[in-house]
Amino acid sequence: QVQLVESGGGLVQSGNSLTLSCSAPTSVFYNLYTIAWFRQAPGKEREGVSWMNSRTNTEYYADSVKGRVTIYKDSARNTFYLEMADPRPEDTAIYYCAVDRRVYYNPVLGLDPRNYENWGQGTQVTVSS
């Protein structure tokens, strides 16, 4: 098991940017992997937001957030990020980062939470209108 720790959540006004962080063990960055961000709103299933693989640095975004969020990493800091440039009230949810040792290229596989074995504890994001 890989320990992941999210931070950066909180209350933000619609349109104001917010960046979530996910710290991971150094060992993650020594191997090939796929990192992803998911979210779960009350009463809804967990849904994929974005993923990135380490082999090609391919990024993928769900249609609901495309153009408004950016996934990136800082290997020197052992941290992954999800920058939300234009959050909306419908983005309110608990956000989770996840890591899998497999390298995904298929958008559907990369956004399926069942394919990830390592998860953070989640961080609440609340967007007010």
Cα torsion 43, 115, 58, 18: sign: positive
Tens digit of each residue's pLDDT (9 = 90 or more) over 105-118: 998 999 999 999 99
pLDDT of amino acid 98: 96
The pLDDT value given to residue 31: 83
Confidence of residue 62 (pLDDT cuts 50, 70, 90): very high
User: Given this model, what pLDDT does residue 29 score?
Assistant: 80
Average pLDDT, the chain: 94
pLDDT > 70 in the chain, percent: 100
- Helix then strand then coil, % of the chain, to nearest 5: 15, 45, 40
pLDDT digits (tens, 9 = 90+) for 7-50: 999 999 998 999 999 999 988 887 888 999 999 999 999 999 99
Q: Which residue has the tokens 């320990």?
A: 3
